[in-house]
Amino acid sequence: TRYWAVVPAAGGGTRMNLGRPKQYVELRARTLLEWSVAPFLDLGWIDGVVLVLARNDGEYARLPLSRHPRVHTAIGGAARAESVLAGLAVVAEHSRGFRDVRVLVHDAARPCVARSDIERLRDEADERHGGLLALPLTDTLKRSQHNRSVETLDRREFWRAQTPQLFGLEALRAALRESIDAGIEVTDEASAMERAGVQPRLVRGRESNIKVTFPEDLRLADFWLARQEQ
Ligand code: CTP
Ligand code: MG
């Protein structure tokens, strides 16, 4: 089995409202992109990392990361699934000849992921169905209609999906292509795999593995990174 990581970093970060992509915002002297990729580069069992960049990216080439021997790049698309597919194509080129290639897909906007959780995902993911880091809900879950609560759902049935998500290279390529062709917007790899009839294993992650989405998330990410460094 060979392992690769794909890190989609081609988004525009519109909800951050910074006028530039959030993956290049700095926290503790490193960009979110560098924080998000570092644990994968630290793990020797991962053959390489493919970063998926926006076509008009003007910042990546300035980072020391761009000269790392195990880092490769691809050009992303308009939707996240297209960006991931572009990254998977580069993985396929570099892993030709290997039969069992598995890929960890991780958001460039999740800078606080713990190395030990990546390893646990590798160990606990299902050989056929793959897996993802996720957390059970703690809040009570409401169904809303016109801002009114019309039903309370059984919270034990719901988990929040995080990344990384681990799947077989060719199965994931096929599933993402099918979702794109069907015009369905998938916001994570697992949803494309579910459409293909797969039931990925939910591997319990951590609260600290947040996705930086809104401006206030930066302070929270800073808090978790400070704790990691201790
Ligand atoms: N992403 C990507 N290609 C896209 C859209 C998103 O590579 N066409 C990446 C982002 O760079 C990010 C991850 O997918 O690392 C998760 O997406 P999200 O948090 O939605 O980031 P953005 O799309 O950049 O933010 P926003 O939705 O607020 O514009
Ligand atoms: Mg987005």
Question: Rounded to an integer, what distance in angstroms lies between the CA atom of residue 121 and that of residue 104?
Answer: 9
Nearest-atom index, ligand 1, CA of 16: 28
> C-alpha angle 217/219/224, rounded to 5°?
95
Over the stretch 94-151, which tens digit does the pLDDT of each residue have?
Answer: 999 999 999 999 999 999 999 999 999 999 999 999 999 999 999 999 999 999 999 9
Residue 40 CA to ligand 2 centre (angstroms): 22
* Span from the CA of 10 to the centroid of ligand 1 (angstroms): 6
Q: How far is the CA of 43 from the centre of ligand 1 (A)?
A: 24
Q: Is 177 helix (H, G, I), strand (E, B) or coil?
A: helix
Distance 33 CA to ligand 1 centre (A): 12
Distance between CA atoms of 223 and 191, rounded to whole angstroms?
30
Task: Give the DSSP letter string of 37-106.
Answer: HHHHHH-TTEEEEEEEE-TT--SGGGSGGGG-TTEEEEE--SSHHHHHHHHHHHHHHHTTT-S-EEEEE-
What three-state secondary structure class fits 116?
Answer: helix
Ligand nearest to the CA of 22: 1
pLDDT in the model for residue 8: 98
Tell whether ligand 1 has an atom less than 6 A from the beta carbon of residue 210: no
Residue 206 confidence (pLDDT) above 90: yes
Tokens of 129: 């169905």
On the question of pLDDT at 229 being above 90, the answer is no
Question: Binning pLDDT at 50, 70 and 90, where does residue 199 land?
Answer: very high
For ligand 1, the distance from its centroid to the CA atom of residue 11, given in whole angstroms, is 4
pLDDT at 200: 98
Tokens representing residue 6 in the block: 């794909």
202 in helix, strand or coil? Answer: strand
Q: Is the pTM of this model over 0.95?
A: yes
- Measured CA to CA, the distance from residue 167 to residue 182 in angstroms comes to 21
> Could you tell me if the CB of 9 is within 6 A of ligand 1?
yes
Ligand 1: centre distance to CA 139 (Å): 25
| Ligand 1 atom at minimal distance to the Cα of residue 84 | 7
Check pLDDT > 90 for residue 22.
Answer: yes
Which of 7, 36, 107, 211 for a ligand 1 pocket mutation test, highest count of atoms within 8 Å of Cβ?
107
Q: What is the pLDDT of residues 26-76, one digit of tens each?
A: 999 999 999 999 999 999 999 999 999 999 999 999 999 999 999 999 999
Asked if residue 230 has pLDDT above 70, the reply is no
Q: How many C-beta atoms surround the C-beta of residue 89 within 10 A? A: 13
Indicate the average pLDDT of the chain: 97
Summarize the confidence of residues 88-98 as an average pLDDT. Answer: 97
pLDDT digits (tens, 9 = 90+) for 164-197: 999 999 999 999 999 999 999 999 999 999 999 9
Percent of the chain surpassing pLDDT 70: 99
Q: Is 33 in the pocket of ligand 1 (CB under 6 A)?
A: no
Domains and CATH numbers, the chain: 2-133+161-229 (3.90.550.10)
Quick one: which atom of ligand 1 is closest to the CA of 79? 8
Burial class (CB in 10 A: 0-12, 13-18, 19+), 82: middle
Please give the Cα distance from 56 to 128 (Å, whole number): 37
ipTM comes to: 0.99
The ligand 1 atom nearest the CA atom of 108: 15
pLDDT at 72: 98
Q: What is the dihedral of CA 49, 177, 203, 44, to 10 degrees?
A: -20
- pLDDT at site 121: 98
